[in-house]
Amino acid sequence: MSKINKIFAVSVVLASAPVLADSQITSYSSFAGYTGLFNTPNAEILEKGVVDFSYNNQLDLRGAEYIDGHNFIFSAGVYDGLEVSGQIASTTMHDNMFEKKGQTRDLSFNLKYQLPFIPKNWFNLAIGGKDLGGAANNYETYYLAGSKEWNDFRFSAGFAVSDRTTGQMDGAFAGIEWQPLDWFALQVEHDADAVNAGLRLTVPKEWIYDAGTLTLSSRFYSNTDHADKDTYWGLNFSMPLFEQATLNDPTEAAPAPILDNHNKREAAFKAHYQKQRELAQKPLEEAKQEVSERDKFSKSLTLQTRELKNALIDDGFEAVSVGFNREPHIVVSFENFVFNRNDIDAIGLVLGRIAEHIDEPDAKYSIQLLNRGMPMLFVRGNVDNYREFINTSTTPDMDIRRGEMEPLGSVSWVGMPNANSPYFRPRLTIGPALNQRTATELGVYDFSLAVKADLDLPMWYGGGLSISAQSELAKTDDYETGKAFGRLAEKDGITQATLYQSFALPYGIYNQTHVGFFREFNQDFTGIKNETVWLSENGRHQFKADIGYLEYQDYDTDRDYQALSYRYNWIEKDVSFHASAGRFFYDDSGVKVEARFWFGDSYISVFAQDTDVQLAGVSFSIPLTPRKDMVTTSYGQIKGNAAWRHSVSTRIGESHNNVTIGRAKQIETPINVTNTLLNQGRLSSSYIYANLARLREVYLTHR
């Protein structure tokens, strides 16, 4: 029986089976690294913001045969319709390939894009490439795939081009998936060489505490002539990087608890003012009564603002000042050291507290966000309008601007301004320091892991002390002293100790200087680092000049670098584009470009750089700390890293993939303008307006 006839026969059997599931057919990560069956793709992609970690033991050895080995795959839906993945294919885990010949250890990059503008009730169509770029393209493949779902079935077909000796994905391919149950699926495919069949079993989410989706895979049949056995297995785990807050339909939104209290107070004040209007038409003696009532009103507002201030301090905000005038206009100034992942959460909670505690009719508010005492951003609006936003999701009217708010007249401050001072309170950030090498001739993954502690001590307006130290926790044999990567292992001790000073200059310019000790690649320097950043009012454009001058402590020589950077933030699509050019730390000159795809407070990026070598790679940044950190005490604060980044890269445009170290490098400090002062470049009105749902959600979560 021919291969095509076998596929047709299996299709008839599957199509004649009873339909048992009504849910949408699940998309799985294939053994080859893209969303699909086992060796073939379908036209589906991972949803935006979903990441998938998978492993299987079907090693395609240089496109010539299938053997037992290791495939490690990381995939992500980085944009609507766009999926990227990286794959490590290795014969063994730790064998030295210089000593044991004939093995493979390959790092490849894959991309898949689902074409838009095709109605979903027709079919899906996707194009993709496997093993793009790189020095040794053992698995280079390009394909076009189409898929159509019918009841519990998904039918896929397409055409691919590759240079594999086996013939896999070099010609027409097809596949059928049948998912009768949410947790069970059968798959059969023709990969342009052979017919393969297998099954997928999905572990119920509640069994793993709803952390994600765990799937077990088995390819139990294949008629290929290029393998000694039929059976291979794999598993994958997928999860969303974040949960997007959404605004409820105003007609369905349940009123927040503060709404009833507010209505009662508003009715009382309406009656009060109606009485005042009547008194205004009466003789002088009765008019005096109006003045007396106004005094009572003022006392009532004093009580409300005092309760507001106490609530903000209890929330952990620092340098809190609360005041009001007779308009009435409520003024709040504060520093955020508690929502360290994103300042928008601090702004949302403060606005929610104002709506919760201030019930005066037609009251206005102005809030000022400070950072190291410097005014960074202010928001103005109407309290009733914002309360309506919390209760019904109606879009609020807000004036959002960077810098210092305009002064208001006749403001009465509640208690002492700048309550809960942020100065001279040590803030300790704990996180990993990782040096690693991936898919080298020495091993699939070699690493040196240390725990790093960054101490920040704000001491004056815009300035303070920053000290970083680390202690190594674990490492592989190749990072031992005297081994191949020994000189790159993370060393114990202090890695940075600087005094820093920040300035908020006119026209949206910020400057920060660090002076002190720096350790880079286990070499000690003393010197100065300065960065100057301009961020446009709407937050879309950002320019940065980064310069450094450092002198070796053990040698009579120095290093300096100068780099200019530009970033465009496509806020509506949660994508930012970055470009840097200059002369970098190790005297390599050139450019680096990067696209970051944001998912809440995390991002996945693809980058390329061309200095004295050409590199391309993938990186990710994730918060390693809760959304709301511990409240700072008189002894200080302990928190996690709010934006930990890790990258993997490979050479491109060359016939080899030699290890590269330190290319396009700039000195990184724990306290810096972009991350510390400008909220990773997101401190703008456009970003807040694009994330209004998060303003509301953070208050409803943490009130």
Residue 195 has pLDDT above 90, yes or no: yes
Which CATH number is 395's domain given? 3.30.300
Question: Count of domains in the chain?
Answer: 3
The DSSP code sequence of 127-176 is EEEES-SSS--TT-EEEEEEEEEETTEEEEEEEEEE--TT-TTSEEEEEE
Q: What is the pLDDT, as a whole number, of residue 296? A: 55
Sorting pLDDT into bands at 50, 70 and 90, what band is 307? very high
CA distance 214 to 234: 11
CA distance 61 to 359: 71
Residue 417: asked if its preceding bond is cis (omega within 30°), the reply is: no
Residue 260 has pLDDT above 60, yes or no: no
Sorting pLDDT into bands at 50, 70 and 90, what band is 63? confident
Mean pLDDT of 21-43: 87
* Contact indicator for 38, 56 with CB cutoff of 8 Å: no
The residue whose two tokens read 């690693």 is 436
Which CATH number is 539's domain given? 2.40.160
Sorting pLDDT into bands at 50, 70 and 90, what band is 554? confident
pLDDT tens string 317-374: 999 999 999 889 999 999 999 999 999 999 999 999 999 999 888 899 999 999 999 9
Residue 268 has pLDDT above 90, yes or no: no
Which has more pLDDT, 621 or 117? 621
The DSSP code sequence of 92-137 is -SS--TTTSTT--EEEEEEEEEE-SSS-TTT-EEEEEEES-SSS--
Is the same domain home to 86 and 224? yes
Does any domain span residue 266? no
Q: Which of 184, 216, 240 is the last residue of a domain?
A: 240
Is the same domain home to 413 and 529? no
Q: Which two tokens stand for residue 213?
A: 């989706």
Is the same domain home to 291 and 213? no
The DSSP code sequence of 38-72 is SSSB-S--PPTTEEEEEEEEEEEETTTEEEEEEEE
Residue 228 has pLDDT above 90, yes or no: no
How many CB atoms within 10 Å of residue 662?
12
Does any domain span residue 491? no
Is the same domain home to 514 and 592? yes
pLDDT tens string 131-176: 876 556 678 899 999 999 999 999 999 999 998 989 999 999 999 9
Question: Could you tell me what percent of the chain has a pLDDT over 70?
Answer: 88
Phi, psi of 227, deg, nearest 5? -145, 150
Residue 300 has pLDDT above 90, yes or no: no
Does any domain span residue 36? no
Mean pLDDT of 86-98: 89
CA distance 60 to 156: 22
pLDDT tens string 563-572: 999 999 999 9
Residue 449: its H or E element: strand 443-460
| 190: β partners | 174, 195
Q: Specify the pairing of strand 427-440 against strand 637-640.
A: parallel
Q: What is the pLDDT, as a whole number, of residue 5? A: 47
Does any domain span residue 506? yes
CA distance 446 to 439: 9
Is the same domain home to 544 and 601? yes
Is the same domain home to 348 and 291? yes
Q: Which of 222, 240, 258 is the last residue of a domain?
A: 240
Is the same domain home to 75 and 204? yes
Residue 652 has pLDDT above 50, yes or no: yes
The DSSP code sequence of 365-410 is EEEEEEETTEEEEEEEEEHHHHHHHHHH-PPP-EEEEESPPPP-SS
Q: What is the pLDDT, as a whole number, of residue 22? A: 44
Phi, psi of 529, deg, nearest 5? -130, 135
Is the same domain home to 195 and 318? no
| φ/ψ bin of 500: left (φ > 0), alpha (ψ from -120 to 50), beta (otherwise) | beta
Q: Which two tokens stand for residue 395?
A: 């879009």
Enumerate residues 6+ apart whose C-beta is below 8 A from 497. Answer: 466, 467, 468, 516, 517
CA distance 64 to 659: 27
Does any domain span residue 688? no
Is the same domain home to 519 and 659? yes
The winner for highest mean pLDDT among 21-25, 114-118, 434-438, 578-582 is 578-582
Residue 268: its H or E element: helix 258-280
Residue 266 has pLDDT above 60, yes or no: no
Which CATH number is 199's domain given? 2.40.160.40
Does any domain span residue 227? yes
Is the same domain home to 344 and 221? no
Is the same domain home to 217 and 329? no
Enumerate residues 6+ apart whose C-beta is below 8 A from 141. Answer: 129, 130, 131, 160, 161, 162, 164, 169
Q: What is the pLDDT, as a whole number, of residue 491? A: 93
Residue 212's domain comprises: 50-240
Q: Which of 422, 437, 470 is the last residue of a domain?
A: 422
| φ/ψ bin of 304: left (φ > 0), alpha (ψ from -120 to 50), beta (otherwise) | alpha
Q: What is the pLDDT, as a whole number, of residue 292? A: 59
Mean pLDDT of 106-117: 90
Is the same domain home to 78 and 227? yes
Does any domain span residue 309? yes
Q: What is the pLDDT, as a whole number, of residue 209? A: 86
| 41: β partners | 36
CA distance 470 to 481: 18
Enumerate residues 6+ apart whose C-beta is below 8 A from 462. Answer: 372, 373, 374, 501, 502, 503, 504
Q: What is the pLDDT, as a whole number, of residue 272? A: 54
**What average pLDDT does the structure give for the chain?**
88
CA distance 525 to 515: 11
CA distance 456 to 371: 13
